[in-house]
Amino acid sequence: MSSRSEFIVIGRGSKYWKFVRPDKTPTLNVFFRWFSFFLLTSITLDELTQDLSKLEINSRSKDSGAKSPEAKPIESIEFILCDTEASFSSAVSLLEPSSSLIIDCEGLDLGVNGGALSLVCIRSMAPQISQNFLFDFVALSALRCSLQPLFSLLTSPTILKILYDGRMDFSALYHGYNMELVNVIDLELVDIKSRFTRGETPEKHKQRLMRCFSYKQVNNVRSAYKYKDVHVFQGLGSCLIEHGCKATSPKKHVDHELWMTRPLPNEYLQYAAHDVEIIDALHSHFVQAGYIDQDIPAQSQRFVSIWSDAPPQPGNNYRSNPLLPLEIFKPNASTTTFPCVDGVEDKQGGLFEAEDCLPPLIMPPAVEEVISPPLFLPRKQLLKDPAVVFTIREAEGTA
C-alpha cells in the first residue's frame, strides 16, 4: 500500500495554502493543537486543482481493489398535504380517534415576533395507523377555511401532544391563532432528564456546557457550583444519535427562508414529514427505555408555554439561548430582580422598550457572566441603573 498524506486547504483569491499531514501524525481534528507536525506550503489554483483530482474519497487506497459503497437513495416519506377544505376536513376526521399526536411546525422565523407559520405537521398514533398530515396554513388561510376543527384536537385535554422543543410551535399558534396547546410531552426535556438516568459523568456535563461557556469558566473550582443545574439543549438529530436511534443524523437540510413560498417544493414537504417521523421514533425509544416519568407532562407544559406572555424578539439572547430555564424543573426557584421602566435611553440616543425585557426571565448566575444584554443596552447600565428594565434570576436561561 502506498504512503499517503492528508491535507487541509485554505485560501483567498488566487493563492491557497496547503497544510500537509504526513502519515502517523496526529489527526486533523487536533490540527491547531499539533501545528508543529504540519508542513505549510503555498500553492497556486492550478496546483490545487491537481491535488484535489488526486484526493482519495474512500479511506482505502486505490490499489487495494476495494470499491466505494454506492450512495443510498434518499428515502421518500409518505404524507398527506392538506391545502384544500376537502383534504383538511378528511384529515381532521382521520385524526379524531387518535389518543396521541406528534406535532411539529415549520415557518419563517417561527414563533418569533414578526415570524410566520407555514405548516402544522401532525403524525397520527395509536389506535390509528400512523400517517403524516401536513396542514398548509398559508393555503388554508387564503381559502378562508375555518381551522377550528383542527384547533379543537390540539387543545383537547384528552389527546396527548408530543413535541421536540415545542416552545416556538406553541408561540406561533398561541400568538398567531389564539390557540393554546395542552396535555403535552416535550422530548427535549426527557432527553435532559435521561442524562441522570444514564449516569452522565461530570466531564460529559462540562463538555456540553462548553458549547456556551469558556473552558476556564466551566472548570473554575470556585464557580463550578453555578453550573451544576445548568443544562444545555441539543438538536433533534444529535439527540437521535446519542440515544442510538440512528447511525447518523437523520435531519435533512433546507433553506428556512423559503417556507412561505408557494407552491412549496417537494423537498420541503419531505423535510416536514420526516421531522414528525423521527420525533415518533425518538418517543418510542424513550417509552421503551422508561425515561418518561410522571413529572414530565407538567414540566413540559411549563416549558412550551414559557413565551405565552409575548413572542421573543429576534436576536434577544436572554430569551433565545440553548440553556434550560431552571424554573422548568424547579418552579419555586428564588430570584433576584432588577426593576425596569419603559423609555430608558441608550448611548446611541435610542429607547429601550419595556416589551424586550418583560416579564421577568430566569437566568443562571453563570449565564449573566457570558450572555451580554441587547447591544443597545450596555451591561454596566443594566447592572447599575435601578431604572433599567430587566430581571436576572439566580436560576437559568432559555434555549
Q: Residue 382's pLDDT is what?
A: 42
Read off the pLDDT of each residue in 4-10 and give the average, rounded to a whole number. 44
* Cα of 263 vs its chain's centroid, Å: 26
In the chain, where does the domain assigned CATH 3.30.420.10 lie? 75-197+258-312
Helix (H) or strand (E) holding 122: strand 116-124
Name the residue type at position 342. Answer: D
Distance from C-alpha of 152 to C-alpha of 268, rounded to nearest angstrom: 27
Q: Nearest Cα to 85, choosing from 139, 34, 4? A: 139
Q: Higher pLDDT residue, 314 or 352?
A: 314
pLDDT in tens, 148-181: 999 999 999 999 999 999 999 999 999 999 999 9
Mean pLDDT for the chain? Answer: 75
Residues 210 and 216: beta-carbon distance below 8 Å:
no
pLDDT at 250: 66
pLDDT top residue among 116 and 6: 116
At residue 53, the pLDDT reads 54
| 352-374 pLDDT, tens digit each | 344 444 344 444 444 444 444 43
Residue 332 confidence class, pLDDT cut points 50, 70, 90:
low
Would you state the pLDDT for residue 280?
A: 94
Percent of the chain whose pLDDT exceeds 90: 51
What is the structure's pLDDT at 67? 43
| pTM of the predicted protein model | 0.68
Residue with cell 407559520: 117
Number of H helices, E strands in the chain: 14, 14
Cell of 339: 426593576
Neighbours of 263 (CB within 10 A): 11
Q: What is the pLDDT of residue 221?
A: 85
Q: What is the 8-class DSSP label of residue 354?
A: G
Q: What is the pLDDT of residues 123-155, one digit of tens each?
A: 998 666 889 999 999 999 999 999 999 999 999
- Closest Cα to residue 300, out of 122, 398, 162? 162
Per the model's pLDDT, the better-predicted residue between 369 and 84 turns out to be 84
Tens of pLDDT, residue by residue over 42-82, are 455 555 455 555 554 443 333 444 443 343 444 688 999 99
Q: What is the pLDDT of residues 230-266, one digit of tens each?
A: 999 999 999 999 999 865 556 778 899 999 999 999 9
- CATH number of the domain located at residue range(s) 75-197+258-312 in this protein: 3.30.420.10
Task: Classify residue 365 by its DSSP letter.
Answer: H
Residue 331 pLDDT level (bands cut at 50, 70, 90): confident
Kindly state the average pLDDT of the residues 182-195.
97
| The pLDDT value given to residue 49 | 53
